[in-house]
Amino acid sequence: MEENQKTKTDRKLNGIESILLLVCIIAAVAVCIRLKTGGPMIGLFMSWIIIWLFCLILRIPYSRAAKKGYDAIRVVVPVLSLLMAIGVMIGTWLQSGTIAAIISFGLQAVNPRFLLPVTLLFCALLSVVTGTSYGSVGSAGVAMMAIGNAMGINPGMVAGAVICGSMFGDKLSPLSDTTNLAAAVAGTKVSKHVRSMLWTTLPTFVITLVIFSILGMQVTGGSYQAADVSGYISALSGEYQLGPVTLIPAAVIIVLLLLKVDAIVALGLSSVAAGLVSRFYQNIPLASVIRTAYSGYTTKIEAPVLQSILNRGGMSSMLQYVAIICFAVGMGGMLDELGVLDNVLKVITKRIKSDGHLIVATLLVGYVTSAVSCSQPMAHVLTGRMMAPKFRERGVAPEILSRCLEDSGTLIGPMIPWHGYSVYMAGTLGVAWAVFAPYLFLIYLTPIFSCLYGFTGISIRHLTPEEYDRELKENTEEE
């Protein structure tokens, strides 16, 4: 009797049950998106109810699945905090004149034809140096989006350049948490891991730079005209007192990120600096400064282009994105606990007959774990745990596994609408996923090169079982 009870308690879903559950969840999310009822948020919320119904029908304790869901949410609490901190910073930057000063400078200094490649390079450089794509998007990304919007350039293109540049730096920087995690999960040194990633990341970055350069030459800004520059600058000067002082908040966050200060602390201190500029330089009452930090900024400028840039921000603007991440990540944790993820992954890894098949399977596993877990760290751990034995079996070096983890688990985030990374980008940059998704060239190209190397053998290092075990041991001991 006790054994039967234990079996029911530990029961996992079989393949058919897993597929049926996923179909129901996907249908719920798709209906909400199709009806334009607030995006995937309500559909993801309903996924919890659907999982509860499955547990009830199949007599599986829902408390077991719920516990794993809440554990998964705890992992992404830093991202949730980061989102709200970004909202506060954007609101205070708008009120202090920081964004206005950046727009004014950018309109005069940057030719619209070169904005896209400049944005890509600027975000890539900052992300490499700081090791954080989140911080780069929240600082350089926000600034470049403001300039691009004022120029009338397609916001999806600018956001695509911001995301590609930030992902490039985050992926290659030895200071990045995902870089170190992928290396640790695969059992290789960070230096080997970074060198291995150069094979797939450098060529794709060069191609991405060329594409954005061509787009920049072809797209000169839609409604933007050179004569509009003076009009925009005059309007901004009429609402704000512009000057070097208004750039202090931007300088604060860049310096703090370079000094490796925690991203949330850096965003907070930049917001405080912006609040002080608003109070003592723009002569705005303290109550209004605090209100803007929560509710966002509203401009008095009548120009539609500037209104679309300046009327945003505040902690409250990010709460919907926080909800999406919570429900999506919690759902992923519950699906993992119920065995849904394992059932899907077993199908993918069933037939691996070559190094090329191994690479393709690893990338697919990374995509599935990312889509379900909605978290880069969880995707790396789950994919690495499942694929490490397969790599050892074929004698493919650990740094190839770590490269695949990054080529899939790190990069796929912006391509999944409900993924925490994608939600963060949409909320921070103020651009819907469907608008920037077509311009994520770096993310689309990288897996192509990864698969190409797998089938041709280029950059693929092989080890005997003894060499493999010895290398894993040496890497572990050094760490």
Residues 91 and 167 in one domain: yes
What tens digit of pLDDT does each residue of 443-477 get?
999 999 999 999 999 989 888 888 877 877 776 65
- pLDDT tens readout for residues 35-54: 766 667 788 889 999 999 99
Q: What is the pLDDT of residue 436?
A: 93
Predicted TM-score (pTM) of this structure: 0.78
* 139 & 274 share domain: yes
Residues 238 and 127 placed together within one structural domain of the fold: yes
pLDDT of residue 286: 94
How does pLDDT run across 111-146, given as a tens digit for each residue? 888 889 999 998 998 888 777 787 788 778 888 888
- pLDDT band at residue 1, thresholds of 50, 70 and 90? very low
Domain residue limits at 164: 77-318
SS (H, E, C) the chain: CHHHHHHHHHCCCCHHHHHHHHHHHHHHHHHHHHCCCCCCHHHHHHHHHHHHHHHHHHCCCHHHHHHHHHHHHHHCHHHHHHHHHHHHHHHHHHHHCHHHHHHHHHHHHCCHHHHHHHHHHHHHHHHHHHCCHHHHHHHHHHHHHHHHHHHCCCHHHHHHHHHHHHHHHHHHCCCCHHHHHHHHHHCCCHHHHHHHHHHHHHHHHHHHHHHHHHHHHHCCCCCCCCCHHHHHHHHHHHHCCCCHHHHHHHHHHHHHHHCCCCHHHHHHHHHHHHHHHHHHCCCCCHHHHHHHHHHCCCCCCCCHHHHHHHCCCCHHHHHHHHHHHHHHHHHHHHHHHCCHHHHHHHHHCCCCCCHHHHHHHHHHHHHHHHHHHCCHHHHHHHHHHHHHHHHHHHCECHHHHHHHHHHHHHCCHHHCCCCHHHHHHHHHHCCCHHHHHHHCHHHHHHHHHHHHHHHHCCCCCECCHHHHHHHHHHHHHHC
The mean pLDDT of 404-425, rounded to a whole number, is: 86
For 175-208, write each residue's pLDDT tens digit.
Answer: 777 788 888 888 888 888 889 999 999 999 999 9
pLDDT the model gives residue 158? 94
Q: What pLDDT, on a 0 to 100 scale, did the predictor assign at position 74?
A: 87
Domain stop point among 318, 341, 364: 318
- Residue 399: inside a domain, yes or no? no
Mean pLDDT (whole number) for 209-216:
94
The reply to whether 43 and 141 lie within a common domain is: no
Domain check: are 198 and 274 in the same one?
yes
Query: pLDDT tens digits for 70-114?
Result: 998 887 788 788 889 888 988 999 899 998 888 888 877 778 888
Total structural domains within the chain:
2
Q: Are residues 55 and 162 in the same domain?
A: no
Note the pLDDT of residue 475: 64
Per-residue confidence at 365, pLDDT binned at 50, 70, 90? Answer: confident
Whether residues 36 and 123 fall in one domain: no
